[in-house]
């Protein structure tokens, strides 16, 4: 039996287990299973690998996309640049880290981009934000990081003024604000300054329309949640695990 799975903590919100169960059934893929492995600390990873000698691949989610790297033997060029991993392949006794978040995000974002979506705000600075930064750089879209506290690399939510909001028409939420069950939460951007020119992308997929997206829709903005990105990154993981 080939075993695949997901590490993170907690994993109550996991999409992956159901996705792969359906994929295996739909495509008649035998001798494969996908399970969730909630590990309270990344230091528990070596013990998990010992307990699961049949592991062929893992997905990695919050909060381990960055701290998992020292446990790996090798990184793909993209994962090395992002310094974030969400996919591990086990091959010939080696643990190789990849980032399929970037693949999923790019494939789901590109069809929505208009010529005026030429500057972006990235809300949050965690592992998921690294994939978004990588994609925007590859698309030649300049971006500004936004965080609760201003720093050399970020501005704070309080610093989002009318000029910044008008010029940055692509806004990507990489924070967990608004994720089930905290449905009322939303990043503290000045929503009254949004227009029909804005494209709001939320990496969250549960609920389908977060408070962040709803506030954008109310202003006529184009909105997109993270569900398609999740499907695309999962399919990309499967491709990586099964490359010859």
pLDDT digits (tens, 9 = 90+) for 93-128: 999 999 999 999 999 999 999 999 999 999 999 888
Q: What's the confidence (pLDDT) of residue 12?
A: 77
Examine the residue annotation and report whether 65 is marked as an active-site residue of this protein.
yes
Specify the CATH number for the domain of residue 169.
3.40.50.720
Same domain, 111 and 214: yes
Q: What's the confidence (pLDDT) of residue 128?
A: 86
> Is residue 210 in some structural domain?
yes
Same domain, 10 and 25: yes
Same domain, 220 and 118: yes
Which of 17, 23, 30, 65 is catalytic? The answer is 65
Same domain, 129 and 29: no
Specify the CATH number for the domain of residue 72.
3.40.50.10860
The answer to whether the beta carbons of residues 8 and 38 sit under 8 Å apart is yes
Same domain, 117 and 93: no
> Is residue 177 in some structural domain?
yes
Same domain, 151 and 221: yes
Question: Quick one: pLDDT band at residue 244, thresholds 50, 70, 90?
Answer: confident
The CA distance from 89 to 97, in Å, is: 7
pLDDT tens digits for range 171-190: 999 999 999 899 999 999 99
Same domain, 62 and 141: no
The answer to whether the beta carbons of residues 204 and 224 sit under 8 Å apart is no
- Determine what percent of the chain is predicted with pLDDT higher than 90: 94
Strands 222-224 and 2-8: unpaired
Same domain, 65 and 147: no
Strands 222-224 and 55-60: unpaired
Q: Is the Cα dihedral 164, 166, 169, 174 positive or negative?
A: positive
Q: Is the Cα dihedral 33, 34, 38, 42 positive or negative?
A: positive
Give 233 or 14, the one with higher predicted confidence. 233
Same domain, 211 and 122: yes
> Is residue 240 in some structural domain?
no
Same domain, 76 and 26: yes
- Per-residue pLDDT at 13 exceeds 70: no
Of 98, 127, 154, the last residue of a domain is 98
pLDDT tens digits for range 31-50: 999 999 999 999 999 999 99
Domain that holds residue 150: 103-228
pLDDT tens digits for range 49-92: 999 999 999 999 989 999 999 999 999 999 999 999 999 999 99
Same domain, 8 and 87: yes
């Amino acid at each position: 039996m080939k075993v695949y799975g997901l590490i993170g903590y907690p994993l109550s919100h996991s999409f992956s287990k159901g996705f792969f169960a359906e994929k295996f059934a739909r495509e008649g893929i035998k001798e494969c299973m996908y399970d969730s492995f909630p590990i309270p600390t990344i230091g528990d990873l070596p013990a998990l690998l010992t307990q699961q000698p049949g592991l062929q691949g893992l997905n990695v989610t919050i909060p381990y996309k960055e701290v998992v790297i020292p446990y790996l033997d090798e990184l793909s060029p993209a994962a090395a640049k992002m310094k974030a991993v969400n996919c591990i392949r086990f091959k010939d006794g080696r643990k190789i880290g990849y980032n399929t978040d970037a693949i999923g995000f790019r494939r789901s974002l590109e069809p929505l981009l208009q010529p005026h979506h030429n500057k972006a705000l990235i809300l949050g600075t965690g592992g998921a934000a690294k994939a978004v930064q990588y994609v925007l750089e590859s698309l030649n879209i300049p971006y500004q990081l936004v965080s609760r506290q201003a720093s050399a690399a970020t501005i704070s939510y309080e610093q989002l003024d009318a000029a910044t909001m008008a010029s940055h028409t692509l806004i990507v939420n990489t924070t967990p604000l608004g994720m089930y069950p905290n449905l009322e939460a939303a990043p503290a951007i000045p929503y009254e300054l949004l227009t029909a020119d804005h494209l709001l992308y939320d990496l969250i997929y549960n609920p389908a329309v977060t408070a962040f997206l709803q506030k954008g829709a109310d202003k006529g903005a184009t909105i997109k949640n993270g569900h398609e990105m999740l499907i695309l990154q999962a399919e990309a993981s499967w491709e990586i695990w099964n490359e010859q």
